[in-house]
């Protein structure tokens, strides 16, 4: 009995020590900068492995999830992930529904004036087909006149439309772009023969190919930074500082190695662009 009492006392002491340790971590981010004090609320579209996805137990996984949890630990906030499709994210962030978009938002000049963007990785676009497709592609222009799937309201869709306009201006046939809300829906349409090819980010296309769902023909189109996006500058700066510390102690490299994502070359992370005027 004395031994059991000693164990019980030890457990209580450890619990008190852990509680005290948690209380010493006080966030430097003012409550006025957050939707809810003490919480970092992020929208996430978990349909892009290995960046963000749901495992067979229904749990969120991926680089963006683990990186955000590590950042949250360092800025002393509770990470809260809000699952949603991508199209409503930017309007939702700007209207104050959550604090951050955590879905690998591509950096563009236009977006950098609407939101506070902190680059944390690099991505580019791949072109792929169903593995059983007889279609062979060597360059983007080979998609002229083809039915091609892409996720709606994404950087990938935007660049596809820009390239398509350039192709049409040269006298090539227009691509018949079909938009979908998720990569799963795009893949389903590809398998069903409703599409001849599809576009997505390199890492997602790689994951599809590894699972036997896709055959990649062209990679590394229109590479650019991907970012966390914020409505509040103080939160953006705190996350940028945390990323710099994560890079310095090796955690950043370990996570990127784990998920096969492409690092930024920078060792210091910053807000890129001026952000909203008010």
Cis peptide before 149 (omega within 30 of 0): no
273 falls within a domain: no
Q: Looking at the structure, do residues 132 and 155 belong to the same domain, yes or no?
A: yes
In a domain, 267, yes or no: no
pLDDT band at 19 (very low <50, low <70, confident <90, very high): very low
**Could you give the CA distance from residue 45 to residue 149 in angstroms, rounded to a whole number?**
18
- Shared domain for 68 and 98, answered yes or no, is yes
216/242 same-domain check: no
Same domain membership, residue 136 and residue 96? no
Domain holding 134, by residue range, is: 125-223
Cβ 105 vs Cβ 80: under 8 Å: no
Please count the CA atoms within 13 angstroms of the CA of 262 that sit on its side-chain side.
Answer: 17
Neighbours of 74 (CB within 10 A): 18
Please name which of 83, 88, 36, 78 lies closest in space to residue 61, comparing C-alpha atoms. Answer: 83
Shared domain for 118 and 131, answered yes or no, is: no
The beta-strand segments (E) located in the chain are 39-44, 47-48, 52-54, 60-61, 78-83, 100-106, 116-129, 147-151, 176-180, 197-201, 215-230
Domain annotation covers residue 63: yes
pLDDT interval class at 2 (50, 70, 90): low
Specify whether 118 is located in the same domain as 234: yes
109 in the same domain as 48: yes
Q: What is the largest CA-CA distance in the chain?
A: 88
Q: Are residues 133 and 206 in the same domain?
A: yes
Same domain, 247 and 200: no
- Pair 46, 34 in one domain: yes
Convert the pLDDT of each residue in 151-202 to its tens digit: 998 889 999 999 999 999 999 999 999 999 999 999 999 999 999 999 999 9
Domain assignment of residue 210, yes or no: yes
CA-to-CA dists, residue 17 to 7, 26, 70, 137, 225, angstroms: 15, 16, 21, 61, 41
Question: What is the residue-averaged pLDDT of the chain?
Answer: 91
CATH number at residue 142: 3.40.190.10
Residue 7 domain flag: no
* CA distance readout (Å), 245 to 234, 264, 268, 276: 17, 14, 8, 26
Q: Is the pLDDT of residue 4 over 50?
A: no
Report the C-alpha gap between 144 and 177 in whole angstroms: 10
pTM of the full structure: 0.77
* Number of independent structural domains in the chain: 2
Are residues 118 and 169 part of one domain? Answer: no
pLDDT tens-digit readout, 58-112: 999 999 999 999 999 999 999 999 999 999 999 999 999 999 999 999 899 999 9
- Model confidence at 114, pLDDT cuts 50, 70, 90, reads very high
Compute the 3-state secondary structure of the chain and give helix, strand, coil in percent, each to the nearest 5: 40, 25, 35
Asked whether residue 115 falls in the same domain as residue 234, the answer is yes
């Amino acid at each position: 009995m004395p031994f059991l009492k000693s164990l019980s006392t030890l457990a209580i002491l450890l619990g008190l020590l852990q509680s005290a340790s948690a209380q010493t971590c006080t966030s430097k981010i003012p409550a006025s900068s957050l939707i809810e004090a003490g919480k970092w609320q992020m929208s996430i579209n978990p349909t892009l492995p290995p960046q963000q996805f749901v495992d067979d137990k229904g749990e969120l996984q991926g680089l963006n999830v683990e990186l955000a949890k590590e950042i949250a630990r360092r800025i002393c906030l509770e990470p809260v992930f809000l699952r949603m499709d991508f199209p409503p994210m930017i309007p939702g962030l700007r209207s104050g529904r959550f604090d951050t978009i955590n879905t690998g938002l591509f950096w563009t000049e236009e977006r950098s004036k609407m939101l506070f963007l902190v680059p944390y990785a690099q991505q580019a676009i791949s072109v792929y087909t169903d593995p059983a497709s007889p279609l062979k592609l060597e360059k983007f222009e080979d998609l002229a006149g083809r039915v091609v799937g892409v996720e709606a309201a994404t950087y990938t869709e935007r660049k596809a439309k820009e390239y398509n306009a350039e192709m049409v201006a040269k006298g090539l046939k227009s691509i018949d772009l079909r938009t979908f809300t998720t990569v799963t829906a795009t893949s389903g349409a590809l398998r069903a023969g409703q599409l001849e090819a599809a576009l997505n980010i390199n890492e997602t296309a790689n994951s599809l190919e590894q699972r036997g769902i896709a055959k990649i023909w062209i990679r590394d189109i229109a590479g650019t930074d991907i970012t966390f996006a914020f409505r509040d500058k103080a939160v953006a700066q705190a996350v940028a500082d945390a990323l710099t510390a994560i890079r310095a102690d090796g955690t950043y490299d370990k996570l990127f190695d784990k998920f096969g994502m492409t690092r930024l070359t920078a060792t210091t992370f910053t807000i890129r662009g001026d952000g909203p005027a008010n």
